[in-house]
A and B are shown apart, each in its own frame.
Chain A
Amino acid sequence: MDRLQIERIGGLAGFGGPHLKSRGELALSDLSPADRQAVEDLFSDPRKAVPAHPGEADAFRYRITRQTAAGAQTIEVPGNAVPAALRDSVRDVLE
């Protein structure tokens, strides 16, 4: 229940497709209180997370999944809304 799964998607190269992946995982308990709160806010209403600039293109987005008693919750939000600790947790790989 403590784990967060993070996937970076989009960008010019289209991360998240069949070959190009960028994934990470970390424990909520390893985050700072401020980052934990930021993650909680994102899950509370991901629609509040809007791109930093209107008109931006090819920016990364992040798909974040957490486990709850009700099942998995997944949100998809722009990179500028994601704490650096989560952004930095992903590794780019070819599959």
Chain B
Amino acid sequence: MPCMCFVVPRDVLTRLAQDRELSAELRKGMFATAQISHEIRELRSQAARLTSVAMAHAGALVELAPAPAVTVYDCKHTQTTPGTPVPNPGSSSDPTAKRTFNETTSVAQFYKDVFNRNSIDNHGMTMMSSIHYGSKFNNALWNGSQMIYGDGDGSIFVDFTNGNDVIGHELTHGVTQHSLQLNYSDEAGGLNESISDCFGSMFRQWEAKQDVKTADWLIGHDIMGPTAKARGFICLRDMADPAAKHCLAPQPTQYSQITPGMDPHYSSGPPNLAFYTACKALGGKSWEKIGQVWYQSLTAFGPTPDMTMKPFADRTRQVAQTLYSTTPAVAAAVDQGWKQVGL
């Protein structure tokens, strides 16, 4: 089946807009498209520059709060966000509201205790969640300023707030937005997704006080519904074995298997496996050393929206050597992780 592609460079649009062999209506459309596309690109560039400048002066910014406020809103099965505020969500009779409040608060504590980070933006940003989004909505997402959770359809998936790794995953998308600012396509998108899986899994392990041997390394284990389980799917992804048959979304395990345009939830497989391998090679608790290396690599170098996997791998190698200069086993473990996936 042929597929028409619409990604037309601006110079081609401009040339077509001036082509007198085309109808006036078509030329007018080409001109409008070129102009609008140009303005959208300018707007995006300006937004990225503004965030970069703000981050460069982040040290001078005043903290909103020493610890973030955590708020929960109820969409009441509509798609209107944020929904109505849930008063005192920590003591709500709605288990979804209570769980969302408690786990989000716990993620804030995890980032504070383990990485000395004050919320998503490191300046006390309010952590806002909307629950009961849509009808049987099979997703959870970070919308650029808050978390949104669906209840699942009760068949393939159950309530997405059931997964503490899911909550850690979504909040980490916010951390990435306020640090490395990775794009959400191609290799940068795969890294973006992988970082959320890594920190989501680390949070799950931190809550359970697990070391790298006792951790399950599964993503989405607690949101799988009865139909998915009956088919043998026990998770969305398995960081220890990304291509496993028990994964609902099996991933590539080698960098060479990543193809242009691949969905980030699949291209995240190799960096997930690299992180897992590094953690297992070093032993202990994932967040204590390898997690610190990943966090520094994410937050200490400013924005690089189009970062690809090789430079990120090299950065973690460099950070491991710098942070743990007297413990070469850390850098060796990081190196082993990336070599495992062909980087």
Contact = CB atoms under 8 A, between A and B. Distances in A.
A48 B220 contact: no
B248 A19 contact: yes
Instruction: Report the interface size class on chain B.
Output: 35 or more
A17 B220 contact: no
A72 B4 CA distance: 7
B142 interface: yes
A15 B157 CA distance: 12
A70 interface: yes
Contact of A71 (B1, B231, B264): B1
A47 B36 CA distance: 10
B300 interface: no
B196 interface: yes
A48 B249 contact: no
A74 interface: yes
A87 to B, nearest CB: 9
Interface string B30-57: 0001001100100010010000000000
Contacts of A24: none
Contact of A94 (B37, B227, B263): B227
B92 to A, nearest CB: 24
A70 B220 CA distance: 43
B169 A48 contact: no
Interface residues of A, number: 39
Interface string B188-201: 00001100100000
A73 B4 contact: yes
Contact of B141 (A15, A48, A59, A74): A59
Interface of A: 9-20, 22, 43-48, 50-60, 65, 70-75, 92, 94
Interface of B: 1-4, 6-7, 29, 33, 36-37, 40, 44, 47, 138-145, 153, 156-157, 160, 166, 169-170, 173-174, 176-177, 181, 184, 192-193, 196, 220, 227-228, 231, 233, 236-237, 248-250, 263-266
Given A47-B40, A55-B144, 7 more contacts: A14-B265, A17-B250, A19-B231, A56-B144, A57-B142, A57-B177, A57-B184
